[in-house]
């Protein structure tokens, strides 16, 4: 063997070995299948980031009221003027300086200005941006927690753009349950009931002359929990989900699924004090502004005792409630922009089809090459097989997923691999027809055909790179397999195929089997 052939053989064998090691054992753990081939759920959801600004505004209002009182500043009222906008009305002219000092010291996140007896506060743009961004990352974290507790193998949860989150859950077969699990805000509150339940708002507000008192709000019962009607409850919660210490699935005295909880020291103390002072009244357990149940307070509930949430749960619903309460509440509401559910059966079907299609394509091409180009055709077949092997190795290495459009990319690459071989072989024939010897025809054929192969492959690779950069889901899957196969093609159809000729054709050969 010639010396320069030796390292070529070694390089080729090394590539083959590398690809096999990377892709072995050629199953799901190495070659990841996309949702279209495996089944699962793909969700795009948007975090309503306005919620976090609203929440900040509300908090600032109550903080301001407290501060103004504490600093003995005279004011009429503090009002919410909009998203991140507050007005303090009725500030006396001689107290403006004092108020300014107070804002400077305590409300650093807010810009303020005075017009007459009015102080206008606006949340600083940088703070707004920070809050929005934070609410999206917190939402992502919460969803992450929930999905992990629920137990899904290899979930993909990532941010997209300013306020979107993409959730991909392969293999999940109960989309509705998972969707609900992600979407609930899960703000749990205990609030004292002032009146209710009543069939409609008018009946509910009879005692208060049809008006909702300043310190109260009207909430609906959750129909899912069998709680119809309306409740008038205190605005301020006694305890909230944040005060929970432990929470677990249990059964009530009639063996129905229920959820039991205990409270931390702070919340437990408040719960003990409020229940002690309001025996005989009802306390509403509220999840996301819907009353789950409103049991009567029969006795003071001691701080370490905890309690039970009942509400005609199914076992799954009770499990899910525990799960979301453990994972924490979402900082802002979310809505779905895109929902795709692919059942496992459809995925299996697509794999079958894709596999058959791929095999048919490869076999047809190989048969044709061997019949048409005889022994040289075998070179092409080996090059093609090697190309597919390298593709799988690279897919495993880059942890890329194989999708249906990805299979389309492979088919284009197979077509171009065949073309590369055909270009070389036809060129060899042309050179031979000009009367050149076998060895010289081969080397001339390869070098002359190379520019065409190189340019066409590189042009397509360039387009694939752009598609990957700017495209979405399926288009990216297509670009990945195409790029890999074409790069491999330059190696197999040119380098390896040439090497095979050099190794198999005798220098003294008079005729080439082509």
Tell me which residues in 135-154 interact with other proteins (CB under 8 A): none
Residues 377 and 368: their CA atoms lie apart, in Å, by 8
Is residue 251 within a helix (H) or strand (E), and if so which, with residue range? Answer: strand 244-251
Nearer to other proteins, 239 or 322 (CB): 322
Round the CA-based radius of gyration of the chain to a whole number and report it.
Answer: 35
Does 473 bind other proteins (CB under 8 A)? Our answer is yes
Among 69, 224, 248, 374, which residue sits at the site for other proteins (rule: CB under 8 A)?
A: 374
Cα pseudo-dihedral 30, 33, 35, 40, rounded to 10: -50
DSSP per-residue codes, 397-450:
HHTPEE-HHHHHHHHHHHHHHHHHHHHHHHHHHHHHHTT--HHHHHHHHHHHHH
Q: How many helices (H) and strands (E) does the chain have?
A: 14, 19
Of residues 163-202, those binding other proteins (CB under 8 A)? 173-175, 177
Shortest distance (Å) from residue 179 CB to other proteins: 9
Q: Give the x/- contact pattern for other proteins in 331-370, rule: CB under 8 A.
A: ----xxxxxxxxxxxx-xxx-xxx-xx--xx--xx--xx-
Q: Give the x/- contact pattern for other proteins in 394-423, rule: CB under 8 A.
A: ----------xx--xx-xx-xxx-xx--xx
Of residues 28-67, those binding other proteins (CB under 8 A)? 39, 44
Report how many residues bind other proteins under the rule CB under 8 A: 76
Shortest distance (Å) from residue 458 CB to other proteins: 7
In a 10 Å sphere around its CB, with 0-12 CB exposed, 13-18 middle and 19+ buried, how is residue 11 labelled? Answer: middle
Shortest distance (Å) from residue 476 CB to other proteins: 9
Among 157, 309, 464, 488, which residue sits at the site for other proteins (rule: CB under 8 A)?
A: 464
Among 12, 145, 262, 456, which residue sits at the site for other proteins (rule: CB under 8 A)?
A: 456
b/e string for 455-466 if b means 16 or more Cβ within 10 A?
eebeebbeebee
Pick the piece of the chain touching other proteins (CB under 8 A) from 108-116, 240-248, 322-330, 449-457.
449-457
Evaluate whether 124 touches 110 at the Cβ level (below 8 Å): yes
Among 448, 490, 491, 495, which residue sits at the site for other proteins (rule: CB under 8 A)?
A: 448
> CA 510: distance to chain centroid?
63
Shortest distance (Å) from residue 500 CB to other proteins: 19
Among 373, 392, 446, 501, which residue sits at the site for other proteins (rule: CB under 8 A)?
A: 373
């Amino acid at each position: 063997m010639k010396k320069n052939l030796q390292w070529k053989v070694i390089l080729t064998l090394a590539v083959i070995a590398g690809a096999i090691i990377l892709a072995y054992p050629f199953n799901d753990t190495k070659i990841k299948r996309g949702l279209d081939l495996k089944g699962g759920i793909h969700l795009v959801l948007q975090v309503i980031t306005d919620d976090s600004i609203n929440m900040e505004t509300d908090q600032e209002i109550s903080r301001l009221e407290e501060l103004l009182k504490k600093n003995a500043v005279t004011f009429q009222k503090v009002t919410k003027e909009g998203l991140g906008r507050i007005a303090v009305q009725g500030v006396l002219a001689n107290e403006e300086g004092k108020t300014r000092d107070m804002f400077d010291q305590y409300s650093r996140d807010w810009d303020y200005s005075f017009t007459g007896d009015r102080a206008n506060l606006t949340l600083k743009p940088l703070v707004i941006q920070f809050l929005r961004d934070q609410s999206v990352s917190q939402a992502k974290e919460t969803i992450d927690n929930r999905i992990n507790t629920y137990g899904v193998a290899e979930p993909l949860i990532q941010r997209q753009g300013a306020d979107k989150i993409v959730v991909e859950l392969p293999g999940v077969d109960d989309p509705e349950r998972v969707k609900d699990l992600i979407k609930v805000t899960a703000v749990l509150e205990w609030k004292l009931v002032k009146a209710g339940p009543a069939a409609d708002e008018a009946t509910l507000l009879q005692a208060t002359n049809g008006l909702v008192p300043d310190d109260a709000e009207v909430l609906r019962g959750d129909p899912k929990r069998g709680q119809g009607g309306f409740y008038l409850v205190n605005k301020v919660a006694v305890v909230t989900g944040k005060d929970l210490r432990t929470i677990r699935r249990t059964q009530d005295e009639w063996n129905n699924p229920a959820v039991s909880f205990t409270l931390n020291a702070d919340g437990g103390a408040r719960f003990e004090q409020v229940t002690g002072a309001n025996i005989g009244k009802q306390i509403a357990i509220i999840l996301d502004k819907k009353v789950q149940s409103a049991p009567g307070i029969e006795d003071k509930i001691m701080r370490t005792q905890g309690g039970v949430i009942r509400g005609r749960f199914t076992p799954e619903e009770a499990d899910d409630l525990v799960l979301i309460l453990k994972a924490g509440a979402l900082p802002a509401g979310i809505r779905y922009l895109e929902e795709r559910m692919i059942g496992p059966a459809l995925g299996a079907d697509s794999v079958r089809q894709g596999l058959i299609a791929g095999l048919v394509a490869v076999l047809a091409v190989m048969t044709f090459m061997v019949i048409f180009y005889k022994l040289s055709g075998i070179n092409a077949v080996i090059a093609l097989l090697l190309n597919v092997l390298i593709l799988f190795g690279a897919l495993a290495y880059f942890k890329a997923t194989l999708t249906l459009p990805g299979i389309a990319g492979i088919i284009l690459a197979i077509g171009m691999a065949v073309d590369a071989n055909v270009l070389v072989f036809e060129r060899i024939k042309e050179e031979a027809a000009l009367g050149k010897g076998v060895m010289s025809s081969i080397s001339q054929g390869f070098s002359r055909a190379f520019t065409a192969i190189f340019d066409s492959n590189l042009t397509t690779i360039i387009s694939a790179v752009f598609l990957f950069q700017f495209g979405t889901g399926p288009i990216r899957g297509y670009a990945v397999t195409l790029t890999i196969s074409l790069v491999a093609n330059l190696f197999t159809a040119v380098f390896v195929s040439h090497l095979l000729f050099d190794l198999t054709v005798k220098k003294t050969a008079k005729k080439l089997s082509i």
